[in-house]
Amino acid sequence: MAGAPDPEPLQRLRAISERLPECAVEPSVPHAAFVVRKRTFAWFLVDHHGDGMVVVSLKVPPGENQAMVAAHPERFVLPSYLAARGWVSVRLDVPEVDWDELGELMTDSYRMVAPKTLVTQIDASEPRL
């Protein structure tokens, strides 16, 4: 649907991505890719291959995707094709989405693919504890 507004979860993901240097959103209705310098770090997917879910797929450290799904199968799923490469999908079609956690996961995924010069920009802007 050309010209249709973004679904609410995609709007929220766009808001998160605005804090990430040189992040671009490449729409492919109803999906979208979040990229930094031509490297994808997140996929927004709606009913991908007829799975009936709305998710964002993100890169995570090796083995963490399996642990996340085992601990919280109602929130996390292993994405087709990408799970073997260290990706996990976060369900956005569940009643309680933890948007703060999702922001952290999205930022961590960005850190894994972005050039170090861009990652240092994030580190410099975050408050020290």
The whole-number pLDDT of residue 6 equals 60
What residues are paired with 31 via a beta bridge? 28
In the chain, beta strands by DSSP E? 23-28, 31-36, 39-46, 54-59, 76-77, 87-91
Q: Give the pLDDT score at 126.
A: 64
Quote the pLDDT of residue 114.
96
Residue (of 51, 15, 47, 39) closest to 110 by Cα position: 39
pLDDT digits (tens, 9 = 90+) for 36-87: 999 999 999 998 888 889 999 999 998 999 999 999 999 999 998 899 999 9
Paired sense of beta strands 54-59 and 76-77, if any: unpaired
* Domains of the chain and any CATH numbers: 8-114 (3.90.1150.30)
Q: What is the mean pLDDT of residues 6-15?
A: 89
Q: Comparing C-alpha atoms, which of 49, 50, 60 is closest to residue 89?
A: 60
Q: What percent of the chain has pLDDT over 90?
A: 74
> Nearest to residue 81, comparing CAs of 43, 113, 29?
43
| Confidence (pTM) | 0.88
Give yes or no for residue 5 having a pLDDT over 80: no
